[in-house]
Amino acid sequence: MNPKISDFGMARIFGGTEQRATKRIVGTYGYMAPEYALQGVFSVKSDVFSFGVLLLEILSGKRNTGFYLSNSLDLIGYAWDLWTSKRPLEFINPETHDAYCPIAATRYMNIALLCVEERAANRPIMSDVVMMLNNELTVLPSPVQPAFSNARNVQDSSQSIPETSQNKLTISVIAAR
């Protein structure tokens, strides 16, 4: 039996060949794999994506939902920005700085980013994730830009992106004749 979880608060048992449980998407968007959120398609890699988000939350001490920063609209994008800027330790929860090994924290962030890659085929299977977490001698591949990353692409950093926008408001007063 393959686990099929789109949200750790909602689990459903599928038949062996069943790919969809419902015609409508249910779950928490910050934790759902893009193939499920956009197309309703599950795979064994859907759980890996959710696990990667949870691992990023544990490392940072912040929740994925409701996390906003000026140049990164979500926690995954923030992690990716710091990873590509070669500053992964800035992502780690500052309250735990005395309690962690920097090499291990960087490794866990690498694993988390591998888990949240956009294409399901590029994500590791869960048994490989467990092996990577338990065996520090396993060489880790470099992650590629994750799914749902709203971060600016490092190559596009020369372009100016406005951080605020202005909405115009018109007020109409209705008066009786």
The residue ranges of every structural domain in the chain are 5-151
pLDDT value of position 54: 94
Q: For the residues 54-69, what does the mean pLDDT come to?
A: 84
pLDDT value of position 63: 86
- Does residue 86 have a pLDDT over 90? yes
38 vs 2, 18, 24, 29, CA distance in Å? 21, 18, 11, 10
pLDDT value of position 31: 78
| Residue 30 neighbours by CB under 8 Å, 6+ apart | 53, 63, 64, 65, 74, 75
- Does residue 52 have a pLDDT over 90? yes
Distance in angstroms (rounded) separating the CA atoms of residues 75 and 84:
14
Weakest-pLDDT range from 1-5, 105-109, 119-123: 1-5
Instruction: Give 5-151's CATH code, choosing from 1.10.1060.10, 3.30.2130.10, 1.10.510.10, 1.10.10.60.
Output: 1.10.510.10
What does the mean pLDDT of the chain come to?
75
- Does residue 30 have a pLDDT over 50? yes
Q: For the residues 123-132, what does the mean pLDDT come to?
A: 95
pLDDT value of position 157: 38
pLDDT value of position 58: 94
- Does residue 76 have a pLDDT over 50? yes
